[in-house]
Amino acid sequence: MALKSKSKKVAVALSGGVDSSVAAALLKKQGFDVVGFHMRLWKVNPNKDSQEETEKRVKEIGRVLDIPIKIFDFKKEFKKIVVDYFLDSYKKGITPNPCVVCNAKIKFGLLMEKAKELGCDYLATGHYAQVKDKKLFRAKNLEKDQTYFLWKLKQKEIKKVLFPLGIIESKQKVREMAKEFGLPTAKTPESNDVCFLGTTSTSDFLKNNLKTKKGKIVDTKGKILGEHNGIWLYTIGQRKGIELPIKKGRSAFPWFVVKKDIKNNVLVVSQNEKDLLKKELIAQSVNWLCGVEPRLPLKVKAKIRYGSLEASAIVKEKISKGKYRVAFVKPQRAITPGQSVAFYLGSELLGGGIIQ
């Protein structure tokens, strides 16, 4: 990142956590004209004291770094774009990825528009990722790398984003830097995976917002084993929460969800983990970060969930607009509709899509 940046104005998305605050401090140190942007977002059980505490911390970051702070109320937009998508996905029987949608539509959508309106040249966040030559690469800290959630970015956004933490080797180093900068975030806890849920569990949120109807639990041969509490509450590969009694002649090995028959409200389970293995998937709404479709077939490393390792795969063919067939060299466990698949070449993020 060039240090000759005094004439460049950058908006930094400040959540009130350690990552974004250190990102702002690093850019200020490098000579950028920094302004802090904080978003008020919809939450399941909004806590006025908690929100006030967060905003107080954001303002303190502004005071310490001597940067202006602007607060935007995106609660209505966030509810419509992210939360409603979250619920609609579960209603369709698929497992959503709200962070991907939030990044594309809120942070690098609405917030980037605000940055442009205020004459900012860039928008920066505390994401662990790197931008080089208008391409997106994994962060130096592979354990915290967040490129998986950024596959929806377009060239017009990549040209205008900065990820200062991409070159930092560890989270511990980030916390040490926060302390060195005198920031009030050095010991702030890690944020929740699904930020708008807070302390509410996903199952409780779904029960409160979707009509749950009991239905049959069957094995892969169609034998009825028991009853589920609502098909929305389960996801492919899930083991916990499948409450099947141990009966004579039935082994005590755990059960796994292998299929959801939404139409008939039937949950299919198996005690054989091999039933979760599949060699192919269909990816839809695929976005290539370079803006140009690569030549197929294309050998890649594919990541089917944030917590999984990349696996060798081939993007075999284009089925229709934005839809591709992907084959893995080795079968993958619990390929889950609704989740994202991200494609890598070395450390470069080529693009991604939604598993159909």
Last residue of a domain, one of 244, 271, 298: 271
Query: Known catalytic residue: 290?
Result: no
**DSSP-assigned beta bridge partners for residue 288:** 351
Backbone dihedral angles phi then psi of residue 39, each to the nearest 5 degrees: -110, 130
pLDDT at 256: 95
- The reply to whether 246 and 283 lie within a common domain is no
- The reply to whether 178 and 321 lie within a common domain is no
pLDDT at 2: 43
- For residue 205, is it within any domain? no
- CATH number for the domain harbouring residue 232: 2.30.30.280
Domain count, the chain: 3
Last residue of a domain, one of 197, 220, 248: 197
Average pLDDT across the chain, whole number = 94
* Predicted TM-score (pTM) of this structure: 0.93
Query: Known catalytic residue: 102?
Result: yes
- CATH number for the domain harbouring residue 155: 3.40.50.620
For the residues 16-38, what does the mean pLDDT come to? 97
- The reply to whether 36 and 94 lie within a common domain is yes
pLDDT at 251: 67
For the residues 112-133, what does the mean pLDDT come to? 97
* 191 DSSP 8-state letter: P
- The reply to whether 291 and 308 lie within a common domain is yes
- The reply to whether 107 and 178 lie within a common domain is yes
For the residues 211-232, what does the mean pLDDT come to? 93
Residue 217 domain boundaries: 212-271
Residue at token pair 């084993």 = 225
- The reply to whether 48 and 174 lie within a common domain is yes
- Taken in order 192, 198, 201, 202, the sign of the CA dihedral is negative
CA distances from residue 101 to 8, 80, 81 in whole angstroms, order as listed: 28, 11, 8
113 pLDDT exceeds 70? Answer: yes
- The reply to whether 172 and 300 lie within a common domain is no
57 pLDDT exceeds 80? Answer: yes
At 224, list the tokens: 């009825």
Rounded to whole angstroms, the Cα distance separating 12 from 335 reads 35
- For residue 4, is it within any domain? no
The model's confidence at residue 248, banded by pLDDT at 50, 70 and 90, is low
- The reply to whether 263 and 283 lie within a common domain is no
* 310 DSSP 8-state letter: P
- The reply to whether 84 and 165 lie within a common domain is yes
For the residues 188-216, what does the mean pLDDT come to? 89
Least confident segment among 160-164, 190-194, 294-298, 317-321: 190-194
Amino acid at 40: R
Last residue of a domain, one of 245, 271, 297: 271
- The reply to whether 47 and 129 lie within a common domain is yes
CB 19 within 8 A of CB 61: no
pLDDT at 190: 82
- The reply to whether 74 and 193 lie within a common domain is yes
- CATH number for the domain harbouring residue 291: 2.40.30.10
The model's confidence at residue 7, banded by pLDDT at 50, 70 and 90, is low
pLDDT at 312: 98
- For residue 3, is it within any domain? no
- Taken in order 280, 258, 286, 346, the sign of the CA dihedral is negative
| pLDDT (tens digit per residue) in 297-341 | 999 999 999 999 999 999 999 999 999 999 999 999 999 999 999
The residue annotated as part of the active site, out of 99, 120, 195, 290, is 195
- For residue 206, is it within any domain? no
- The reply to whether 297 and 321 lie within a common domain is yes
147 pLDDT exceeds 90? Answer: yes
**DSSP-assigned beta bridge partners for residue 75:** none
Sheet with 215-218, strands from edge to edge, namely 224-228, 215-218, 266-270, 256-261
What percent of the chain has a predicted confidence (pLDDT) above 90? 87
Amino acid at 110: L
